């Protein structure tokens, strides 16, 4: 027969170790989710800036073309 320690205490230790690993993984997941949210927010901000810059560049190009045409006509 196996001893009490072999049958019960080792299983309890194993369960405790698993619980500690679970807590560690939960913390890692929480950190990764936070990073993911920050990256998503940053991506949205950068995309919006790019969109605005693209619009501004198009406006500047159109004005430059208009001025060029005016100068050409003169």
pLDDT at residue 21 is higher than 80: yes
Closest C-alpha to 21, from 10, 13, 9, 32: 13
pLDDT band, very low/low/confident/very high, at 8 (cuts 50, 70, 90): confident
**pLDDT more than 70, % of the chain:** 99
Angle at 66 between CA 65 and CA 67, to 5 degrees: 90
The token duo for 71 is 């100068």
Mapped onto helix, strand or coil, the DSSP state of residue 2 is coil
Mapped onto helix, strand or coil, the DSSP state of residue 31 is helix
- Total-model pTM: 0.63
The token duo for 1 is 């027969």
Which has the higher per-residue pLDDT, 36 or 2? 36
Angle at 40 between CA 34 and CA 46, to 5 degrees: 135
């Amino acid at each position: 027969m196996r001893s009490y320690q072999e049958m019960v205490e080792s299983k309890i230790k194993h369960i405790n170790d698993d619980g500690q690993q679970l807590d560690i993984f939960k913390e890692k997941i929480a950190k990764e989710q936070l990073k993911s949210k920050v990256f998503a927010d940053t991506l949205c901000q950068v995309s919006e800036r790019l969109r605005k810059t693209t619009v501004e560049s198009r406006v500047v190009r159109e004005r430059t073309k208009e001025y060029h045409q005016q100068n050409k006509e003169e």
